[in-house]
Amino acid sequence: MEYNSFFETALERLRDERRYRVFADLERIAGRYPHAVWHSPKGERNIVMWCSNDYLGMGQHPKVVGAMVETATRVGTGAGGTRNIAGNNHSLIQLEHELADLHGKEAALVFTSGYVSNQTGIATIAKLIPNCLILSDALNHNSMIEGIRQSGIEYKVFRHNDAAHLEELLKANPNRPTLIVCESLYSMDGDVAPLEKFCDLAEKYGAMTYVDEVHAVGMYGPRGGGIAERDGVMHRVDILEGTLAKAFGCLGGYIAGSAKMVDAVRSYAPGFIFTTALPPAICSAATAAIKHLKSSRWERERHQDRAARVKAILTAAGLPVIASDTHIVPVFVGDPERCKQACDILLEEFNIYIQPINYPTVPKGTERLRITPSPYHDDGLIDALADALVQVWDRLGLPLQAKAAAAE
């Protein structure tokens, strides 16, 4: 048997479809975000990152780095096993208290990633509710879909962000325990769920809500509690899920909600029980980031200011920015080949790093550049990005919009 030939065939398929992925070999420079070093095939080059999900640059914040180093020096590196085997580490308990407080919930439970939180969290919660029906937004992240699949529970999909369709499905399934599963901020288009309407419907039909705030925690709401906090509905959402890996600059994921729900997930979820806990140093670093962002608004305000400026400058240059109300700046390409070529030229000729976003992350024909400005992208970097993009668009024959129309 030529086992490798199976893998080669699978890879060929991706290459044929122009969606074989290549990742650049990068090294960030603490304190100089968004500048980084690219270990290119021709040697080291300084580049500017425009697509990191370390949205607020907290991964390099002195308080966060300091907390990680201090804890690792004091207690060592690994957690020493699953919590079943090695017990809780104290930093993890402090982190869970911090998270419960962030979301105004009785309790929180930390997992090794946001992905795992959704996959094992949704599966476990749904399985513990007898005769549960899951209602899931059409654009939910793969981790949520995997959680739904793993639960084996009946599910129905409602049209993206469509409260009327959600209500139709709720009406059609009266008196049945129902879990509504959605994201608050969708990271590829940057659009936001109508959480207040969803909460109204959940209350009207006696459903439970599970909201993924992965792309919003730290960045929205007066204390960084996310879109639900910003919209004044955090107390009405039953289960909030988030990551420690994006705006909090570390690693890990969590759910927050009632003490009973959290205890049940802790006791039943395989993705919690059978894997080693997060290292204490990561927990301390995440706690430092959350604490900082609870009281500091500078990062959030500057982040929004930068995102607004990037959108305005790119739009004025005639680039096809997909409209969004959030910090995500998608620029439409609509073709996988040219999307990849655009990113290659940006990196090789302009020292700008943006990862192409192709299928299956977005539907075919909607390939795009996904630009994520941080508080540290200054005006000069934004102007340089716009100039580079216009040249790339010109080179690849991609359409620019009329500048006058774009500026209106």
Catalytic residues: 246
Distance CA 344, CA 22 (A): 10
Binding mask 240-279 for ligand PLP (x = CB under 6 A): ---x-x-------x--------------------------
> Judged by CB under 6 A, which of 91, 118, 120, 372 binds ligand PLP?
118
Which CB sits closer to ligand PLP, 116 or 262? Answer: 116
Q: Does 115 bind ligand PLP (CB under 6 A)?
A: yes
Which CB sits closer to ligand PLP, 125 or 392? Answer: 125
Distance CA 151, CA 109 (A): 19
> Nearest distance from residue 191's CB to ligand PLP, in Å?
13
> Which position's Cβ is nearest ligand PLP?
114
- Residue given tokens 């990862």 in the structure block: 355
Q: Does 121 bind ligand PLP (CB under 6 A)?
A: no
Q: Taking CB under 6 A as the criterion, which residues in 353-392 touch ligand PLP?
A: none
Which CB sits closer to ligand PLP, 114 or 218? Answer: 114
Cα three-residue angle 171-173-179, rounded to 5 degrees: 100
Binding mask 94-113 for ligand PLP (x = CB under 6 A): -------------------x
Which CB sits closer to ligand PLP, 208 or 211? Answer: 211
Strand order across the 368-371 sheet: 329-332, 368-371, 356-357
Q: Does 327 bind ligand PLP (CB under 6 A)?
A: no
Which CB sits closer to ligand PLP, 248 or 393? Answer: 248
Record the tokens describing residue 371, joined without a space: 């630009």
Query: Number of helices and strands (H, E) in the chain?
Result: 16, 14
C-beta atoms surrounding 289 within 10 Å: 27
Binding mask 195-224 for ligand PLP (x = CB under 6 A): -----------------x-x----------
Query: For every residue of 121-184, which 3-state class applies, written as one string?
Result: HHHHHHHHCCCCEEEEECCCCHHHHHHHHHHCCCEEEECCCCHHHHHHHHHHCCCCCEEEEEEC
Binding mask 128-147 for ligand PLP (x = CB under 6 A): -------------x-x----
- In total, the chain counts a number of residues equal to 408
C-beta atoms surrounding 206 within 10 Å: 12
User: 253, 275, 285: which is closest to 73 by C-alpha?
Assistant: 285
> Nearest distance from residue 41's CB to ligand PLP, in Å?
28
Which CB sits closer to ligand PLP, 112 or 178? Answer: 112
Whether 314 and 329 have beta carbons less than 8 Å apart is answered as yes
Residues of the chain by 3-state class (helix, strand, coil), percent to 5: 45, 15, 40
What is the torsion angle, in degrees rounded to the nearest 10, for the CA atoms of residue 91, residue 96, residue 98 and residue 102?
A: 160
> Nearest distance from residue 24's CB to ligand PLP, in Å?
18
> Nearest distance from residue 51's CB to ligand PLP, in Å?
12
> Nearest distance from residue 200's CB to ligand PLP, in Å?
23
Which CB sits closer to ligand PLP, 115 or 210? Answer: 115
Question: Applying CB under 6 A, which residues contact ligand PLP?
Answer: 113-115, 118, 141, 143, 183, 187, 212, 214, 243, 245, 253
